Amino acid sequence: MDYYAGVDLGATNVRAVVAEDDGTRIGVSRRSTPRGPTGIDVTEGVLRTLREACGDAGIEPGAIVAAGIGSIGPFDLVEGAVIDPANLPDSIDRIPLTGPIEKLIDSDDVYLHNDTTAGVIGERFHAERNPDDMVYITISSGIGAGVCCDGEIVSGWDGNAGEVGHCIVDPTGRLTCGCGHDGHWEAYCSGNAIPNYARYLAEDDPTTSTDLPLEGPDFTAKDVFELAGEDELADYVIDQLAHWNAIGVTNVVHSFAPIVISFGGAVALHNEELVVDPIRERIEEMVMSNVPEIRVTDQGDDVVLEGALASALTGGTGDRQRIHD
Ligand SMILES: [Zn+2]
């Protein structure tokens, strides 16, 4: 029997899954992502998690014929490494992944993707409708897209295609993004940005009433969505998020002509009515070409892990016709 593995390397957790050749999961493992001190410590954490998933499955790592990785970026794809990840300590400058995993499983079939690209691979593999033209968009602590266009997974030479959260949606650049530039989609609508954006809107129009704990240390995006329909400022923030999200998604539609756009990430998954439904309504009026089906992933929090496994099963493509390719 041949076995396949998927790895999801996030800033918080690293997860691994081992499956049989029909995709049936037989082993899993999850650990906290090591906070360094060096990138090698993170690499070792990934290898340990994968070995544990093999142990859970009762197989040796050498029995795995192919592995996929969905990871935080940015990347040096030629080196098969993550370079200067934004959400890990500064002492972590380089996390080698492809080489060490190839060595562990004794196979050259190791596919490294950014997490949103793994997302589109997983969606393509599992979705009821799996056209050759689809986009996966995550709205979580950040915003990003994985793109499949003309049946090709678009990764870019360095693995960093699809960073749509850093597209400029507000040319007046009122808010600064975590990346340091102004006016980016992610600076308004990501889970990390929403509290800051709510404070900005409150200052902009102090007559808006609110019970939101704007200056409290624990104020999060969740507070905004919980007060929907009950709080003037919360409703205004949610309406403005819909405005920027619709602009961002319209830009994605005009760039890649997807037939399906699938949403994931905590902000979209937990607030489909308040975040995804308004996008669906608004882009009808904003898109000049074919309007794609807008859906939410059925994979929930597993979308990156499932995508990594689907990549291993399909030679890095998510195309079900290329299983064990
Ligand atoms: Zn940015």
Q: 263 phi and psi, to 5 degrees?
A: -100, 145
CA 74 to ligand 1 centroid distance, Å: 13
Distance CA 167, CA 315 (A): 30
CA 178 to ligand 1 centroid distance, Å: 6
CA 140 to ligand 1 centroid distance, Å: 14
Distance CA 25, CA 32 (A): 21
CA 77 to ligand 1 centroid distance, Å: 21
CA 158 to ligand 1 centroid distance, Å: 18
Rounded alpha-carbon distances, angstroms, from residue 205 to 30, 184, 236, 250: 45, 22, 11, 28
CA 196 to ligand 1 centroid distance, Å: 15
Q: Are 98 and 204 part of one and the same domain?
A: no
> For each of the chain's 325 residues, which pLDDT tens digit applies?
899 999 999 989 999 999 999 999 999 999 999 998 999 999 999 999 999 999 999 999 999 999 999 999 889 988 999 999 877 889 999 999 999 999 999 999 999 999 999 999 999 998 777 689 999 999 999 999 999 999 999 999 888 899 999 999 999 999 999 889 999 999 999 999 999 999 999 999 999 999 999 999 999 999 999 999 999 999 999 999 999 999 999 999 999 999 999 999 999 999 999 999 999 999 999 999 999 999 999 999 999 999 999 999 999 999 988 888 7
Q: Are 113 and 43 part of one and the same domain?
A: yes
Number of domains in the chain: 2
Closest CA to 45 of 95, 79, 87, 84: 95
Beta bridge partners of 263: 137, 296
CA 182 to ligand 1 centroid distance, Å: 7
Q: Are 62 and 211 part of one and the same domain?
A: no
The single residue listed with the structure tokens 């409703």 is 235
- Rounded (10°) CA dihedral 281, 241, 167, 307: -70
Q: Is the dihedral angle over the CA atoms 128, 274, 264, 27 positive or is it negative? A: negative
Q: Are 218 and 195 part of one and the same domain?
A: yes
E-strand stretches of the chain: 3-9, 13-20, 25-32, 64-71, 75-76, 81-83, 94-96, 110-114, 134-139, 143-149, 152-154, 260-264, 293-296
Q: Are 37 and 114 part of one and the same domain?
A: yes
CA 317 to ligand 1 centroid distance, Å: 28
Distance CA 145, CA 62 (A): 33
Which CATH number characterizes residue 13's domain? Answer: 3.30.420.40
Coil, helix or strand at residue 284: helix
Which range of residues forms the domain containing residue 203? 129-297
Beta bridge partners of 182: 176
CA 257 to ligand 1 centroid distance, Å: 23
CA 296 to ligand 1 centroid distance, Å: 24
* pTM (predicted TM-score): 0.94
CA 139 to ligand 1 centroid distance, Å: 14
